[in-house]
Structure 1
């Protein structure tokens, strides 16, 4: 009876499925694991919409348009009146309204229930508005969470968030039982091919064109090599400019005569398909162009499943691929990518060693392990709020 009375009620603020967004998938994965912990009730969602409408399921308790500023105040007041013990704010500048997503502060500043914030982007050179948002969220939150060790110091030194309030928790990775690499290759029709892959929404910053150019040199020495680009164009990009980037990539493949060595799978992958795409791969590649990228869910997935990873040296990759867990190639440099790919394909022993090192870290990133760290922070934050309430000084 006591356990039932002490169950925590947690809500998540952010995007949510079926909205096509990596952050929405992150939220769903965490919620699925959190509801398995016996001192938590099934979590709920306050879903942030863009200009589209979505057929949400029963887990969504409220939803609102990100561009309607008055809605942020309404949501805060409704949360204060609800039985929610703690709100988890998923923060990404682009999913909230106003300049750099500043409307989220209208909500945060009116909450009387505690909240924690998960920063999916931490900039080292923010503009004044970006600085204001992150600093204020950190000030008001019970805990600020980032997914890379390198950004822990940034939240403290750049944004002034007390170090004691900042925690690093790895990006979670789903656990899916699969067949072996060779069995999956056969099932998908790629038997006897050496597979390089990238998955995720297509957009200009992904640098796929440089990876395609790299395959020209790889093909000469390994004609069996196949680069698979899994994923549809990012819905926002498609709405704004259509399939311009994808068509540019398709034309490049044709011009370089790589039709047998590069293919596109133009669809939104299910979680099972994402994992299959990784497990059947010999190399996972993130040739991204943004040097400041502090977190990459796709790279986290590659580590979770113990793949050899070749990446450009953006912040997250530099940290996660240290200690022999992968290779770093230069930005916008097909020859550097080609050299790294050939290094792995020409040295199977090196590949095996890298896979083991990566898997050792990846095993600690599975969601059922990661959620325990979040659960401990939530318990502590709710307990602190209870103590403040008893003392008559609710923050």
Structure 2
């Protein structure tokens, strides 16, 4: 069992240096935390892992889930996939899913309870459901925006009423908390048996800004697909990209991701590499689509036209399953993260690109500074098209 391979990774204070950063490795780290949370040292003494396995009968994951289109849904789904593959056959993984639309989503069977995000009583009923189901441990995926109430405070109607340990994974840790954000995160730290973050910077901010105790925090890097490294040419013909040098960005499309800067860098790159193409892969974020339709995508397309880049910038308006995403990622010669600000402690897209072995050019947001340190990628200043072009040209010319 992979858990045994990674059993040594928890430190005190717990920081995880994963030898295996695939979703199975992330599962292993989380499972270790579950054991330390669920069982005392006295319980573990003289008991084999297989014997302890039999004591965990049910794990609940609370968060978004595919087919909902968002990063938390993808994360939750992949974590559950890893849990189901690794836990004993006698155990059960169930999901409590958050809905942001009245009609809900066509979830798989593992989703046993749905919460309407703005309805307080749904959170109370979810707690009752998990208690009656005798769940051994609950793993909460936390992002302020997916829960109802002021700064997502409705979630407390759920987790304060649970009769099992709660592990909370934080997907956002604001450096300058607004409104009730600081109070909400502090309260999460008080209620949760463990807080899981995906970067050391997030851990530092939790202790310095939110006064969460160091021993309560575990750093478990974002999971990545377990795939072999393949030549970029392997899948290019499937997407009409044969004989092209491919720069790629993927993720749900919306303002605040720096795509404009990357487009502005393209004329200089094209002059040096006339066969280059920048692929912007991803559907428009559902909340952006609801508020403004495809206005943002159209603005990017107009910028492309003004710069005469129609042959060098391609939009793929798709939300892909993991297998299709990996094929697309494989085509990339360079992956680019052009985020315009520092305040991002985790990026799933960056993690996935590095996981499939891509060369990366990124702005120095917090997760990128950490992940790309020691020459693992090229960091360029924020909102600087010339520097972005220089970094990409360096990689394409090597």
Give the TM-score, by structure 2 length: 0.84
1:18 alignment partner in structure 2: 67
Structure 2: gaps (5+ residues):
1-49
Q: Does 1:282 align with 2:282?
A: no
How far the C-alpha of 1:241 sits from its partner, in A, is 0.4
Aligned pair in 2 of structure 1 residues 310, 5: CA closer, same or farther (>3 Å)?
closer
Q: Deviations over 1:182-238 (max 9, x none)?
A: 121233222221110000110001111111110011111110111001111001100
Contact 2:343 2:365 in 1 (8 A): yes
- Contact 1:9–1:85 at 8 Å: present in 2 too? yes
Task: Note if contact 1:294-1:315 (Cα within 8 Å) is conserved in structure 2.
Answer: yes
> Aligned-pair distance for 1:124?
1.5
> Which residue number in structure 1 is paired with residue 240 of structure 2?
189
The answer for the alignment partner of 1:47 in structure 2 is 97
Which has the higher mean CA deviation after the structures are superposed, 148-157 or 246-255?
Answer: 148-157
The count of aligned residue pairs is: 347
Distance (Å, rounded) in 2 between the aligned partners of 1:96 and 1:344: 41
Q: Judging changes above 3 Å, is the alpha-carbon distance between structure 1 residues 69 and 290 closer, same or farther for their aligned structure 2 residues? A: farther
State whether residues 151 and 179 of structure 2, in contact with CA within 8 Å, keep that contact through their aligned partners in structure 1: no
| Partner SS state of residue 218, structure 2 | strand
Please point out which of 282, 292, 295 is paired with 1:244.
295
* Partner in structure 2 of residue 326 of structure 1: 377
Equivalent-residue separation in structure 1 for 2:371 and 2:229 (angstroms): 24
Alignment of 1:1-395 (within 5 A): 5-39=54-88, 41-52=91-102, 53-176=104-227, 180-346=231-397, 348=398
Any idea what the Cα deviations from partners look like across 1:302-340, whole Å, max 9, x if unmatched? 111111111111111111111101111221221111111
Unaligned runs of 5+ in 1: 349-395
Return closer, same or farther for 1:273/1:178 CA change in 2, 3 Å cut-off: farther
Q: Is the 8 A contact 1:278 1:302 kept in 2?
A: yes
Deviates more, 1:265-274 or 1:140-149: 265-274
| Distance in structure 2 (CA, Å) of the matches to 1:28 and 1:270 | 11
**Higher relative helix content:** 1
Contact 2:56 2:136 survives alignment (8 Å): no
Assess if the C-alpha contact under 8 Å between 2:225 and 2:356 holds in 1. Answer: no
